[in-house]
Chains A and B, each alone.
Chain A
Amino acid sequence: MTAERLPPPSTAVGPLAWLRANLFGSPASTLLTLIMTVIVVAGGLLIADWAINHARWGVVTNNLKLFLVGLYPFEELWRVWVALLVLSVLTGYSAGAFGGAPSRTLSNWLAAGQATLALLALVSAMSMTTVVALGANAAVVWLTFMLGLRLGAPRRLLTFTWIGAVIAIFYLLQGARGTPLELVPTNLWGGLLLTFMLAIVGIVASFPLGVLLALGRRSDMRAVSLVCTVFIEVVRGVPLITILFMARIVLPLFLPGDLRIEDVYRAMAGLTLFSAAYVAENVRGGLQAIPSGQVEAAQAVGLNPIQTTLYIVLPQALRAVIPANVGLFISLLKDTTLVYIVALLELLGIGRAVLAQAQWFGAHVEVYVFISVLFFVMCYTMSQASYRLEAQMGVGKR
């Protein structure tokens, strides 16, 4: 004799129960739900009405080339696409070789982002080359990811390839006088291209500097520790914009009259120094988290202080601070907008330049919303990848 099995009451499971538990749990909750629904629906309708019936999106589609690469000459645009291809191949392959959910997220989004830009270029009637270049790149990311997943690669080889690639990308984009690739002065760089270059150079260059500063701050050599501490605290205590002004207006005064550094490089230097101080504090946190037994064990097996730092302490410390540094990269990417105040044409700057055209007078909101969406997609992707990374590494688990 078996007991009759009744289905669970509908108040306990199923969509109705979910609604009860999550939206109408108590009178207060119900009231809150109703009020919020009205606000969300009304707000959503208002925004949708504006976006569909009133917004002049032509300001974006007609100026898409400016938003993507700024004033970069049309006939040299292929160099940007090749640079992007190098980046796509390497990112896809490294992500595949590295493996894991965070890399998958990152490469999926890179592919999706380029595909979206390709679509945007298509509706904006940009040249077919642009559309194909962006679309092909999206496919390349995906393909090389699969390839990386299959073949794998030694980490050290990848590292050196990356360093070589960054140099190659710089040469591709800027070229030099009298070489096969003619010079494209950095003041023609703009839009998304410049934003990316500023952020990537900023993070890549500030990382080693930040590690050195962190080691210096923890050094038991008084003078070294003092110099590093003062640098870190001063930089963290002042707004980024003052440092960018320092780099833009004050630095030339400190250099001999015949030594000129291009504006873009000076902005990069400012961003790098700023970011290095924050990297240093992150890394210092990682260094402090290493149990002292590790150092003692290293000394016991006869490693000298430099070997101990390089082979024992740093690898563990840097691993632990990867998620925090992703967070830093996100804020650096957002902070690149500040170079608009020192008159560089990154995304926001190019947006203001576009708005100065009489034809698009008053289309401010459209431009700013477009820029915000671009940033949102980039930053949100990275923060999601960082969450996954954190989960995967078990950081913050108790």
Chain B
Amino acid sequence: MTAEAPSRRHSSVPFWRNVRVLRLAVQIVIVSAIALLALWLWNNLTAGMARSNLTFGLDFLDRRAGFDIGETLIPYTPSDSYGRALAAGLLNTLLISIVGIVLATLLGILTGVARLSRNWLVNKIAAGYVEVMRNTPLLVQLVLIWTVLVNMPTVHNSVALPGEIYLNQRGLYLPRPIADAGLGGWLLLLAVVIGAIVVVGFISGRRAEAGHRPWPVARIGLVALAVAAVGGWLLLRPVAFDVPVLERFNFVGGVVLSTQFTALLFGLVIYTAAFIGEVVRGGIQAVRRGQVEAAYAIGLTPGQTLRLIVFPQALRIIVPPLTSQYLNLAKNSSLAIAIGFPDLFSVSRTMMNQTGQAVAVIVLVMGIYLAISLFTSLLMNIYNRRVQVLER
């Protein structure tokens, strides 16, 4: 009897109360509603475009662009195609994102460490910096920095910064390194020293495993490397600098970073670094106190504790939120349009105006940003998998 009861009840469930049928029905309704909405929108779009004699498509990419782009990494003239203009914008976006991520990471780590400093003043300055950055809009910061840079003195009254760097209303002028004859020798010297340190470190590790006292490889190695690098630099002169020199109308030589680029890079870096600083601080603080105490108890030095115990564990906590900060920086670079830096989005804005293909252009641009985001996530996920502990 007990075996029969469930099956009889099951057969008596009417189809409108059968969970499987209901689920299927809900899904069919949702999918068809979305399909109908899409169809309606598409019809409106094609009807609207037909009225202005446009057809939806990407063939406009081959047509002549006819507008100039202020700065590009690839050769570009107004007679090039829209496709090439888009590529130039994309490269600018990638350039600012990559340089920005590297600099923001460095400044962010510095900020995070400063937030953990036992020095009260350093700690509070870092805290103040983080709060100001996190609680004001990036766009306002960007236009503020842009305004300040544009109102820099004229070329002839440039602000001279240490290291032959000049700042004026046209941008930032930096010395450009040029490889000299000694470069190969200098790099070889560094490679030999680093190789020697690795070998000695390996032997020292083996000795430590065998129960001998390890040699202070890291400390002596660093000193040796510094001596080799500085000494070799002075003796071999591996790099010459093409220094910007003020001539009659402008600086000649060196590298010029345009005001737009400088403002955008600076703004993105100091904004993102504040967030990265908090990520780093949170990660280090999340490592349990007992871990450090245990490390001291088995006789590790503070340096070793940091390197072998705290960092590996902190890294696991840091990597996922760090990834989203990198993604934010790449996406925020689209604010370039507010200060006139020709990134992917501002180039596409011009294209929307000129071609009338607003829908195609914006879908294309969103697709590219999405691809950048997914690719960055992928890289960081691979890295994340490597730093995670394998459990189970």
A interface with B by C-beta (< 8 Å): 21-23, 25, 29, 32-33, 36-37, 40, 221-224, 227, 234, 236-242, 245-246, 249-250, 253-257, 330, 334-335, 337-338, 340-341, 348, 362, 364-365, 368-369, 371-372, 375-376, 379-380, 383, 398
B234 at the binding interface (Cβ < 8 Å): no
Contact A375 B135 (CB under 8 A): yes
Q: Which residues of B contact A383 (CB under 8 A)?
A: 134-135
CB neighbors of A among B113-149 (8 A): 118-122, 125, 131-132, 134-141, 143-144, 147-148
User: Chain A interface: which of B41-49, B155-163, B221-229, B303-311?
Assistant: B41-49
Complex: A29 Cα to B119 Cα, angstroms: 6
Complex: A240 Cα to B366 Cα, angstroms: 10
Complex: A254 Cα to B71 Cα, angstroms: 34
**10 A-B pairs in the complex with CB atoms less than 8 angstroms apart:** A22-B119, A22-B120, A29-B118, A37-B121, A242-B362, A253-B49, A253-B359, A338-B335, A340-B139, A372-B137
B interface with A by C-beta (< 8 Å): 23, 26-27, 30-31, 34, 41, 44-45, 47-49, 51, 118-122, 125, 131-132, 134-141, 143-144, 147-148, 151, 288, 327, 331-332, 334-335, 337-338, 345, 349, 352, 358-359, 362, 365-366, 369-370, 373-374
Apart from the given pairs A239-B334, A379-B134, A383-B135, 4 other A-B contacts in the complex at a CB distance below 8 Å: A240-B331, A245-B349, A249-B358, A250-B362
- Name the residue of chain B whose CB is nearest to the CB of A355: B147
Q: Which residues of A contact B335 (CB under 8 A)?
A: 239, 241, 338, 341
Q: Which residues of A contact B132 (CB under 8 A)?
A: 376
Q: Which residues of B contact A254 (CB under 8 A)?
A: 41, 44-45, 359
Q: Which residues of A contact B370 (CB under 8 A)?
A: 234, 237-238
Q: A224-B30, A227-B30, A253-B358 are in contact. Are A23 and B121 (CB under 8 A)?
A: yes
Complex: A11 Cα to B345 Cα, angstroms: 60
- Name the residue of chain B whose CB is nearest to the CB of A28: B119
Complex: A383 Cα to B136 Cα, angstroms: 12
Contact of A341 (CB < 8 Å), options: B23, B125, B131, B338: B338
Complex: A255 Cα to B335 Cα, angstroms: 28
Q: A245-B362, A330-B135 are in contact. Are A372 and B148 (CB under 8 A)?
A: no
Q: Which residues of B contact A379 (CB under 8 A)?
A: 134-136
The interface centre, meaning the residue of A224, A246, A250, A375 with most chain B CB atoms within 10 A of its CB, is A250
Q: Which residues of B contact A222 (CB under 8 A)?
A: 27
- Name the residue of chain A whose CB is nearest to the CB of B374: A237
Contact of A32 (CB < 8 Å), options: B122, B138, B139, B374: B122
Q: Which residues of A contact B48 (CB under 8 A)?
A: 253, 257
Contact B140 A371 (CB under 8 A): yes
Complex: A234 Cα to B368 Cα, angstroms: 11
Q: Which residues of A contact B147 (CB under 8 A)?
A: 364-365, 368
Min C-beta distance of B161 to chain A, whole Å: 16
Contact of B373 (CB < 8 Å), options: A36, A238, A341: A238
Q: Which residues of B contact A362 (CB under 8 A)?
A: 151
Complex: A236 Cα to B324 Cα, angstroms: 10
Contact of A368 (CB < 8 Å), options: B30, B47, B144, B345: B144
Q: Which residues of B contact A40 (CB under 8 A)?
A: 121, 125
Q: Which residues of A contact B125 (CB under 8 A)?
A: 36, 40
Contact A221 B144 (CB under 8 A): no
Q: Which residues of A contact B121 (CB under 8 A)?
A: 23, 32-33, 36-37, 40
Min C-beta distance of B253 to chain A, whole Å: 32
